[in-house]
Structure formats: C-alpha cells, structure tokens
Amino acid sequence: MNDILPSETPIWQHLEGCFARVVKSFGYSEIRFPVVEQTQLFTRSIGEVTDIVEKEMYSFEDRNGDNLSLRPEGTAGCVRAADQHGLLYNQQQRLWYQGAMFRHERPQKGRYRQFQQFGVETYGMAGPGIDAELMQLSSALWQELGISSHVRLELNNIGDAEERRKYAKALGLFFADHRDVLDSEALRRLETNPLRILDSKNPDLQSIFDKAPLLADFVSDKSKCHFDELLSLLDAAEIDYVINPKLVRGLDYYNSCVFEWVTDALGAQGTVCGGGRYDGLVEQLGGKPTFAAGFAMGAERLVLLLEGLTNVADSLSKRADVYILVRDVDCISAAQALGKNLRFHLPNRSVVIHYGGGKVSSQLKGAVGAGAQFACIFESKQLKESSSLRLRKLDDLGESTDCAIVDVPDKLAKLLV
Ligand code: ATP
Ligand code: MG
C-alpha cells in the first residue's frame, strides 16, 4: 500500500480530472459505494475458484461475527448498491465510480495491495452499441491523456454461460489427457473450474495452452452475430483492435464480449483497463435479469504511463503563480491582506506568501522553483513611506518596478499569462 506524495499528486489530479471530463461528456453519473461488503457478495459474483477470491481478498469477521471483505473490485458493489436502491429494474443506467480496491497480491511495479480504479458500469442495454461505446469512451480518455499510441485494444467473444459450460467440459477432458504437465494449482482447477487453468501465469503451461480447444469453436451463431456487429461498430468508429482468442479475464461473471487495453510499456503488468459484458450477474445476485456491461482501469498503471511517456508531470508541478516575499516581519499583515485581495481578483491563480527568513535571493529562487511568474517584495520602509512594494518579473531578465499596493491586483491580472 502506497503513500502518494505531494510531488505525485498533481499527476493523479490530472488523471482524475481527465476521467471525470470524459465520462461527463458521455453522460455518465457518479455512484459511490462502500469499501467493505459482505464477503459472500464477492464470492458469489467474482467466483469461488478465481485468484481474487481464493488468494487475494482481505476478509475478516467483525464484532458481530459478520464475514466482511475489503472490496477487491467495484462491479459487485455497484450491482449490489444499484439493485438495492431500485436503479436497475426497467431502466437504463450509465454509471461511473472511482476508488480504492484491495488485493493481497505480491507487490511489484504496477501491482499493489491497495490500488485505485476508475470504473464504468452500464445497465439495461442489450445490443453491441453499448459495448462499442465503452471502448470509444476509454479510447477518448487515452486521447485526452496523450497515450493513444501506447495502448492497444484486445477483445474476445466468450459466449454465454451454457456455451462456456460446454467449453469447460471439453477443456477438462483435454487437460485430463495432459495431467502429467499440469502443476498442482492447475490439477486442483481441473476438478473445480478448468477454464481458470488458462489464467495460469506458469510459463511451462503456455505451450500446452496452444493445443487446447478454442472457446471460439463453442460459441453460438447468436453470440457471434453480436460480436460481429460490435466489430463493425469499432471499424466505423476507426478504433483499432486485435482479437485475442485466449482472452478470458480473471472474473467469472463476464459473458459475450470481453476486452482489455494493453500496453507494452509496463512489462508484465501490461493491462491498464479490462471489462466486458456481464448480463447474468444482476440476476445471480438476486435482482431481475438485467443487461450489463462495464470496465475498470488501474490508475497506478496509468500514472506510470503518464510519467514515462509524456511530459505532463513537468507541466503540472507548478504550485504558485504569484509569490509574496516579506523582507521585514512587520510587513506580514500587509502581505496577507494583499494575498487575500489577489486570491479574490485572480481566481484559479495560486498566491504563496514567504514569511521571511534567509536571503531575498534564496526566497526568489524558491519562488522560481514553485513556478511563480511574479514576486511581490514587501519592505518595511517602502511600505510605511509610500504604501508600495517592489514587483519583480521572475524570468531571466528579472525586471522590477515599484508599484502602489492598491494597483497590484489590476496590474497582475494584465501581466499574468
Ligand atoms: P492482472 O491480470 O494485471 O492481474 P486483473 O485481470 O486482475 O489484472 P481486473 O480485476 O480486471 O484486473 O482489474 C482491472 C484493472 O485494474 C487491471 O487491468 C489493472 O489495470 C488494475 N489492477 C488490477 N489489480 C491491480 C493491482 N493489484 N494493483 C494495481 N492495479 C491493479
Ligand atoms: Mg489480477
């Protein structure tokens, strides 16, 4: 679990701002739901035999003896909240959320135990239009962030639950014939959920996966038709994609189309966004049958991308527009009064006061380091004799003029770029 320090928060705020702008431009509404839920909400939705539920959840018994877990993802909680408050029945919803998720994984670059997700969930829309919209929305975000050329869209058609059951059976028979090459985890999954064997990151198993039956051969014409329509919508929207027949996603609730946005710039933790349809989940959790589709993206991985691939971090490091320097301590109240006045006259600008101490030259260096364009320098004698200060431009030339304090706000409003 990480601390995010002041030097890093500007890039986080930038990311949060871009996401909020993009979802708003598509007409999505924000939903907030708790960090803690009943453990069984997650076991029932994500699936008993998944990495998340078997190995990664922070679960505990509270003082009442209830079994609770820190949320490892947002979809289950979103469905629970939306259904509980009647947002799903006979309605269409476009929702977004943002917040911390918790998984007890081995921490490494791009993989943490507390991490931040941005997610989008939609309800009540059956056709491929909404699937394509989700990809267009994420694509619009990459554009806004300036990372479009570093991510690619991979997608797959995983059919419906019945088709997957048939596939799981065929896969089970196939792997049963190759027991000798399976590791202990895969052997266990052979009994419980053969599909999850494909999730294994064990490199020794990858060659056998190439010979395994393909899900694509088990999906019906109806599923194929939905998928083909989706592909033609993506073509029309000029969104490039790659079909990855091995993409299954690590959560059981998905069906039909699943997708991931992947980058090569982050090593093994290359998936920055994952999602798809999950039409059976609402009913499975006790609601009425409801069409559903969504995605979640990992904010830490996006921050790493922004830091590594763009120069947005530099342009965001600015803390001040105007710096007020106080040479003599008896000028502090006048400096604070000017600060108040400037903040009123220059909304969206930052005004920082330095309360003296040290040489003026080093204070000026601090002002430049904070990104300020101007310094207002208070000196006791000048203040008392003429109610004025020294206004200094913080560029290479460093020109300065005397300026009556009352005139400073108007003057800066004109000069600040
Ligand atoms: P991975 O294959 O990398 O483990 P996942 O399939 O478990 O990812 P999802 O549950 O689909 O991931 O979550 C969506 C996104 O959240 C991921 O694509 C990733 O960007 C991010 N994410 C998932 N787990 C972590 C983590 N432990 N730390 C940071 N980000 C994460
Ligand atoms: Mg994972």
Residue 92 Rama label (left phi>0; alpha psi -120 to 50; beta): beta
Which ligand has an atom closest to residue 71 CA? Answer: 1
Q: Ligand 1 test: best mutation among 45, 271, 278, most atoms within 8 Å of CB?
A: 271
* 391-403 residue pLDDT tens: 999 998 989 999 9
Nearest CA to ligand 1 atom 12: 274
Neighbours of 97 (CB within 10 A): 22
Going by C-alpha positions, the residue among 156, 194, 199, 192 that lies closest to residue 178 is 194
Nearest CA to ligand 1 atom 11: 274
Residue where the block lists tokens 């959560």: 251
* Assigned CATH for 9-160+219-312: 3.30.930.10
Contact between 189 and 54 under an 8 Å Cβ cutoff? The reply is: no
* Assigned CATH for 319-415: 3.40.50.800
Distance CA 362, CA 34 (A): 48
Domain assignments of the chain as residue spans, ordered by start: 9-160+219-312, 319-415
Tokens standing for residue 411: 């003057």
Contact between 391 and 378 under an 8 Å Cβ cutoff? The reply is: no
Going by C-alpha positions, the residue among 81, 67, 85, 79 that lies closest to residue 34 is 81
Distance CA 365, CA 370 (A): 9
* 134-143 residue pLDDT tens: 999 999 999 9
> Ligand 2: distance of its center to the CA of 72 in Å?
10
Distance CA 230, CA 237 (A): 11
Q: Give the phi and the psi of residue 260 in degrees, each rounded to 5.
A: -140, 145
pLDDT in tens, the chain (417 residues): 999 999 899 999 999 999 999 999 999 999 999 999 999 999 999 998 888 999 999 999 999 999 999 999 999 999 999 999 999 999 999 999 999 999 999 999 999 999 999 999 999 999 999 999 999 999 999 999 999 999 999 999 999 888 988 999 999 999 999 999 999 989 998 998 888 888 787 888 888 988 999 888 999 998 899 999 999 999 999 999 999 988 888 788 899 999 999 999 998 889 999 999 999 999 999 999 999 999 999 999 999 999 998 888 877 888 899 999 999 999 999 999 999 999 999 999 999 999 977 788 899 999 999 999 999 999 999 999 999 999 999 998 989 999 999 999 999 999 998
The helix/strand/coil state of 375 is strand
Tokens standing for residue 226: 């939905």
Contact between 18 and 141 under an 8 Å Cβ cutoff? The reply is: yes
The helix/strand/coil state of 276 is strand
> Ligand 2: distance of its center to the CA of 250 in Å?
7
- Pocket of ligand 1, beta carbon within 6 A: 73, 103, 105, 111-112, 115, 117, 250, 269, 271-274, 296-298, 300-301
Which ligand has an atom closest to residue 101 CA? Answer: 1
Nearest CA to ligand 1 atom 30: 298
> Ligand 1: distance of its center to the CA of 103 in Å?
9
Distance CA 285, CA 253 (A): 11
CATH topology identical between 9-160+219-312 and 319-415: no
Nearest CA to ligand 1 atom 28: 111
Residue 99 Rama label (left phi>0; alpha psi -120 to 50; beta): left
Q: What atom in ligand 1 is closest to the CA of residue 269?
A: 3
Helix axes 332-345, 408-415, angle to 10 degrees: 50
Nearest CA to ligand 1 atom 9: 274
